[in-house]
Each structure stands twice: as structure tokens, then as C-alpha cells.
Amino acid sequence: MEEAGIRPVSKFGQNFLIDLNLVNMIADSANLTEQDVALEVGTGTGSLTGLIAQKAGRVITVEIDQNLWQLAQEELAGFNNITFLQQDALRNKNNLNPILIDTIRQAMSEIEGARLKLVANLPYNIATPLISNLLTLDEFVPTSMTVTIQKELAERIVARPGTKDFGALSLWIQAQCNPEIVRIMSPKVFWPRPKVDSAIINIETDTAKRNRIPDLAYYHRFVRSLFIHRRKLLRGVLVSVFKNELSKQDIDTVLEGINLTGSIRAEQLAVPVIFELCERFRVLQKTKEEEAKV
């Protein structure tokens, strides 16, 4: 980077993984084959990109920094299975960039039985929205995501009920996937050094779990709404969430139906219980909407 006259740009969340053993660990943990379309967000200098390209059928790598995008293309000119995109991977906080989606669609069409896998040293500032938004895709949800992220974020993803880290993100990912922290990393393996520890996490999508959710968008909204005021009791949160849509009696009936009464908070409930609660409210709302039409 010094030879190329390039410096890290803090606004892009650039912290480069300089321990090559860990770069190899990320590539190996993804278990890539020629059937896979590997998505990398944060190309950097292309060190991980090159390892991925040796294993995957197709690689789509995204870099927002034009200087790094140019540098990586020069470094990896010998590969013919890499698509380099110079753009933001996100259109906004809640949506992926349409150009990225079209590029994934094209790459997937070129491999019979293709599987999408996210493999990346993710920029800290987009890790949460990127992982969350990829799981909203019906057309090609990733079969796995093997990424480096902040340790704090990794702990939130794998958190168990009743802990301080358990929240909407835990519920969103654990309802569809089996996440596991592979390795904790200190700041010294990055340049420039971040102020926090990082982690390699592997998130395997569980098709059976995902297929149990009839309406992903509804479930996503529901779990996020439960933790807007995480210290409030569950009943009070639900009354606020469904204000002008459901009566307090409706809410009490649903809670009593699955023995959720008294002073309980959302953070104390296991993922299957939250899912059951969500489904009962979804069905109740749908029923009331149909009755209103009649």
C-alpha cells in the first residue's frame, strides 16, 4: 500500500488483516468448492480474494475504495473467475445494492446447483446490515457466511436467552442459522489496529429452520420491535407494538395461550418461544384483516 501511495480510510472501516495464517483460516473455514459463488465484501489488497478464487467456481468481490479496487485488480490479474465491483454493497441500511444482487444472480446462473457463500474480512461499519440483509433474500440466501467481525457483534449473534447480548440480531440469525465463533483475534493482527477485539464467525444457514418461518419479513419486524425497549416487560412492549391494531385483551389472550404471563421480558425467552409468539400474532392479525374485509 505504501508503494501504491494508498492509506487506510477510516470512514470505510478499513482494518486490514495482516496475519496470513488467519487469512488462510477464513478461506479454509468456508469450505469452498467449484459449485460455490463466493461473495467478498471489502476486497482490500486482495489477499483473501486470491485464496477464495483458488477454491470457488466464481468470486464476486466488492470494494468501495477506488484506489484499493484498482490495486486488487492489478494484483489478481491472473484469475479469470473474479468479478470486481467498485461500489457500496448496500443501497441503504435495510437493502443490498441492486447492482450487487444482479451480479450475484448472473454468477449463480453460470453454475449448475450453485451455492452462495459470504467469505470476507468485513468492514466493521457494514457487518450487521450486510449479514442481516443477506438473510432476507428469498432468491439465493447464502448457505454459509464465514467472516471477521467485531467480537462484540459475534457475541450478540451467538448469545443465549437471559444474557445481556441476547437481542433482535440473535433471534433473527438463530431462527434461520447455526452460528459458531471460530476464533477470537486481538487488534495486533490488523493494520491499522482497531480499538476492539475481533472474531471469525461461521454462520451456517439451516434450511429446515428457515422453512418454518412463513413470513420472514413479518418475523424480522416482530423481533426488532420486541427489543426497542428491551428493559420493559413483554406485555407492555407488545401493547406498544400493536397499538391501534390489537386490543389489550387480544394481547393477553395470546400470552395466556402459551403461558407467558407475569413479569417476563423478551430477552428471557428462547428462540422457539419467540417464534411461536410471533406466529400467533401474525395469524391473529391476518384473521382480523380478513374479517374487516368481509
- What is the domain-level CATH number for residue 67? 3.40.50.150
Question: Is 195 within 8 Å of 187 (Cβ atoms)?
Answer: yes
Tens-place pLDDT, residues 55-95: 999 999 999 999 999 999 999 999 999 999 999 999 999 99
CB distance 58 to 81 below 8 Å: yes
Residue-level pLDDT at 12: 80
Low-confidence ranges of the chain (pLDDT < 50): none
In this structure, is residue 2 part of a structural domain? no
Q: What are the phi and psi torsion angles at 83 (to 5°)?
A: -105, 120
Which among 121, 124, 144, 148 is positioned nearest to 134, based on CA atoms? 144
Same domain, 206 and 225: no
pLDDT of residue 127: 96
Domain boundary among 160, 181, 211: 211
Do residues 15 and 86 both lie within one domain? Answer: yes
Query: 225: Cβ–Cβ under 8 A, 6 or more apart, which residues?
Result: 237, 241
Q: What is the pLDDT of residue 292?
A: 84
Q: What burial class does residue 123 get, using C-beta atoms within 10 Å of its C-beta: 0-12 exposed, 13-18 middle, 19+ buried?
A: buried
How many domains, in total, are found in the chain? 2
| Nearest 10 degrees: Cα torsion 258, 261, 265, 271 | -10
Asked if residue 277 lies in contact with residue 259, where contact means CB atoms within 8 angstroms, the answer is: no
Give the length of the chain.
Answer: 294
Q: What pLDDT is recorded for position 14?
A: 82
Sign of CA dihedral 24, 100, 217, 222: positive
Q: Final residue of a domain: which of 189, 211, 233?
A: 211
110 alpha-carbon distance from chain centroid: 25
Using alpha carbons, list the distances in angstroms from residue 159 to 33, 62, 96, 220. 30, 29, 26, 17
**CB atoms closer than 10 angstroms to residue 67:** 15
- Do 205 and 222 lie in one domain? The reply is no
Which one-letter amino acid corresponds to residue 81? N
Output the pLDDT for position 293. Answer: 83
How many angstroms separate the CA atoms of 289 and 230, rounded? 29
Same domain, 85 and 46: yes
Same domain, yes or no: 237 and 128: no
Domain boundary among 211, 242, 273: 211
The domain of 36 spans 10-211
Same domain, 179 and 35: yes
**pLDDT score, position 76:** 98
> What sign does the CA torsion over 155, 156, 160, 165 have?
positive
DSSP assignment of 172-186 equals HHHTTEEEEEEEEE-
If asked whether residues 163 and 240 sit together in one domain, one would say no
- In the chain, the amino acid numbered 27 is A
- For residues 140 and 234, membership in a common domain is answered with no
Q: How far apart are CA 163 and CA 183, in angstroms?
A: 21
Instruction: Assess contact for 220 and 134: CB atoms under 8 A.
Output: no
Same domain, 47 and 174: yes
Helix (H) or strand (E) holding 90: strand 90-92
| pLDDT at 238 (0 to 100) | 96
Note if the bond before 192 is cis, omega within 30 degrees.
Answer: yes
